[in-house]
Structure 1
Amino acid sequence: MCVKLPAQLNPHAEEWRPIASLPPPLPRLPHALFSYAPPLFAAPPPLQYYQVPVTFPTDIYAHNHAISDQQHRPKKGIKKLLPPRLRSAPPPPPPPPPKLEWRQKNTPVVDFSTSPAAALSSKTTLMIKNIPNQLRRDFMLKFLDGYCKTHSVAYDFLYLPFDFRKLGNLGYAFVNFTNAAAAVKMKKVLSNFKWREYYTDDGETVCSHKVCEIKWARVQGKEALIRRFEKTTFVCDDREFLPVVLDPPRDGTDRNPAEPVNVGRICRRSR
């Protein structure tokens, strides 16, 4: 790139240098004042950092125990007022936790002799255990009729399970009474009953040392018992082994009671 100048430059001219504009000079101060004046551009003192040691307890139980000891430790001002023998004594132990007192729950006491129906309003079915195996259903009906007549109660269902091959009962029976008061009364009467000697309808003498044990049945109520056995099939040849419903209920006062109504179905055994 070429630039055309209007005139030829002088090769012997002095070198050109730019003239800088300097600030006006500061007024001169006395020597006494200048010796006490701080420097205008003095560097600030360096910052100093201090590291604080932090320790964390490895055992939280020991840490909490140390804090509780510090809380119960007497202060330094109070320690100076103590006698010398107490100044070196260990800190007092922390106060024990409050003692929990056991209180008996006030449960209402129910007298079964006065209000058994209110206490056991939903239980009417008993399970009679330890029955001699030679006894049949007709004997149990007469046996219950005698006790129901003596104690003025009534029952409406009876089932004496049988072993169809040995033709003997299994040693227990289910009896449903008309109300809970009657069930509670017969439970007390028949408990620990001793059979000893009895005569069956065939004239056979039954001697047994069994003692009756009375418990509440798992299935309770007449309707529940009927639903339990109405669709059951019994593999036997005689309806005497079936559960029966007594309608009207038997209380032992009728000399000619109505025939029991069988519940369930019979399946004849193949010979």
Structure 2
Amino acid sequence: MKRQEELLVTDIDSLSRSLEFDTRTTVMIRNIPNKYTQQALLQLIDVNHAGTYDFFYLPIDFRNKCNLGYAFLNFKSPISILSLVKEFAGKRWERFRSEKVCEITYARIQGKQALIEHFRSSRLMHKHEKYRPIVVTDDGN
């Protein structure tokens, strides 16, 4: 099993070659400035990626009301990862004058169903409705 560091998907050429064989669809977006809200991050992602994913989750520190610096995004197709990486990986976040640089890695948990199962038993699903993972159904809702 490869270590998380070996799963960085910022090398566009390697990623392009591997996508025809790689069926992974879930990425972890890292180094997100903690002032980003779920809505603000989704607005940024949706500019060029709306309709390409079916699961999104930005974990929140409820005490401080800020994100934990990473998010999970599951794409409907592995090829969609490439355009996200081209747009965000290795680049600074423009909002909030942050010095953080975006990293994108494959997530440990892969696939929409596996993510739903993983978070189903979380206390998050029973509280904090505003911060729950976003699951897009086949009809787009």
TM-score tier by shorter-chain length is 0.7 to 0.9
Larger RCO, structures 1/2 (Cα 8 Å, 6+ apart): 2
The partner residue of 2:100 within 181, 187, 210 is: 210
Show the counterpart of 2:20.
Answer: 118
Show the counterpart of 1:139.
Answer: 40
1:191/1:130 Cα in 2 relative to 1: closer, same or farther (>3 Å)?
same
Q: Cα RMSD (Å) of the superposition? A: 2.5
Q: Secondary structure of 1:134's match? A: coil
Please give the alpha-carbon distance, in whole angstroms, between the structure 2 residues aligned to 1:194 and 1:238.
30
Q: Deviations over 1:116-174 (max 9, x none)?
A: 54221x2100100010101111112111110216xxx6011001011110011000000
Please give the alpha-carbon distance, in whole angstroms, between the structure 2 residues aligned to 1:249 and 1:169.
29
Show the counterpart of 1:233.
Answer: 123
Please give the alpha-carbon distance, in whole angstroms, between the structure 1 residues aligned to 2:48 and 2:61.
27
Richer in helix (by share): 2
1:129-208 correspondence runs (5 A): 129-148=30-49, 154-196=52-94, 198=95, 206-208=96-98
| Displacement after TM superposition at 1:240 (Å) | 1.9
Q: Secondary structure of 2:100's match? A: strand
Please give the alpha-carbon distance, in whole angstroms, between the structure 1 residues aligned to 2:139 and 2:58.
17
Q: Secondary structure of 1:210's match? A: coil
Unaligned runs of 5+ in 1: 1-109, 199-205, 251-257, 259-271
Q: Deviations over 1:225-245 (max 9, x none)?
A: 011011211299631211110
- For the 8 Å contact 1:116–1:184, the answer to whether it is kept is no
**Matched length:** 129
1:228/1:237 Cα in 2 relative to 1: closer, same or farther (>3 Å)?
closer
- TM-score normalised to structure 1 length: 0.43
1:1-271 correspondence runs (5 A): 112-113=15-16, 116-120=18-22, 122-148=23-49, 154-196=52-94, 198=95, 206-234=96-124, 238-248=128-138, 258=141
Show the counterpart of 2:9.
Answer: none
Structure 1 runs (4+) deviating above 6 angstroms are none
- For the 8 Å contact 1:154–1:249, the answer to whether it is kept is no
1:217/1:235 Cα in 2 relative to 1: closer, same or farther (>3 Å)?
closer
- For the 8 Å contact 2:57–2:72, the answer to whether it is kept is yes
| Displacement after TM superposition at 1:246 (Å) | 1.4
Please give the alpha-carbon distance, in whole angstroms, between the structure 1 residues aligned to 2:126 and 2:36.
17
Show the counterpart of 1:50.
Answer: none
Q: Secondary structure of 2:81's match? A: helix
Please give the alpha-carbon distance, in whole angstroms, between the structure 2 residues aligned to 1:112 and 1:208.
27
Unaligned runs of 5+ in 2: 1-12
